[in-house]
A and B are shown apart, each in its own frame.
Chain A
Amino acid sequence: EADIYQTPRYLVIGTGKKITLECSQTMGHDKMYWYQQDPGMELHLIHYSYGVNSTEKGDLSSESTVSRIRTEHFPLTLESARPSHTSQYLCASSTQTVNTEAFFGQGTRLTVV
C-alpha cells in the first residue's frame, strides 16, 4: 500500500470560497504531481514538482496554485472556487529515477455548487 494521503476525500463547497487540497507522502519522494480527472475521462497533469521550492505547470491549464515547502507536502489551492472546478483531483509521487512508478493518493472529489 502506497504511503501517500489526500484530504479531504470529498468536498462540497460554495462558489467563491478558497480551498486547499492536501497531499502528503512519507516515502521521501522528490517528485510530486497533481492530476485532474473528470468521471470516465482521462487524467490531465495540472502541476508537478521536482523537489522543495520547485513547481511547474502541467499540460492542462489550471487556475489552481501549488507550493512545495517540504518534501512530503504538496498542497493545491483554489483562491475562488467555481462550478467548472468540479472534478476529481489526484496527487501522486515518485522518486527521481526515470524507471520508477508513480504512486497515487486516493483522490479528492470536489464539487463546487
Chain B
Amino acid sequence: EAGVAQSPRYKIIEKRQSVAFWCNPISGHATLYWYQQILGQGPKLLIQFQNNGVVDDSQLPKDRFSAERLKGVDSTLKIQPAKLEDSAVYLCASSPGATDTQYFGPGTRLTVL
C-alpha cells in the first residue's frame, strides 16, 4: 500500500513570499490532517478534513494560511505571506476515519529567510 505523499520535500523562500504544499493521502482515507512541527517540538494540528469538509481549523492562522481538499482526495496548504516564524516542517497525515491511527507523510521542510 502506498503511503502518504508530499511535495516538495524542501522549500526555501524569502519572507512575505507565498508558498504551497501538496499532499496525496492513502487511497480510501477519509480524514486528512495538516500539522506544523517546529524544531524541537511535537506536531501541532493546523487543520483536519473529513472528506472535503473542514472538521477543525482552530489553530490555523487564517490571516495567512489556507487549505483546501478538492474532491475529498488531494490537499494543498498555502501560506501567504510567509513570516520567519513559519519556518518548520509541514506534515500531512491521513486516516480511514477521524478516530483511527494516523499515517504521516515525510513532510515538507520550509525555511523562511
Q: Do A and B come from one complex?
A: no
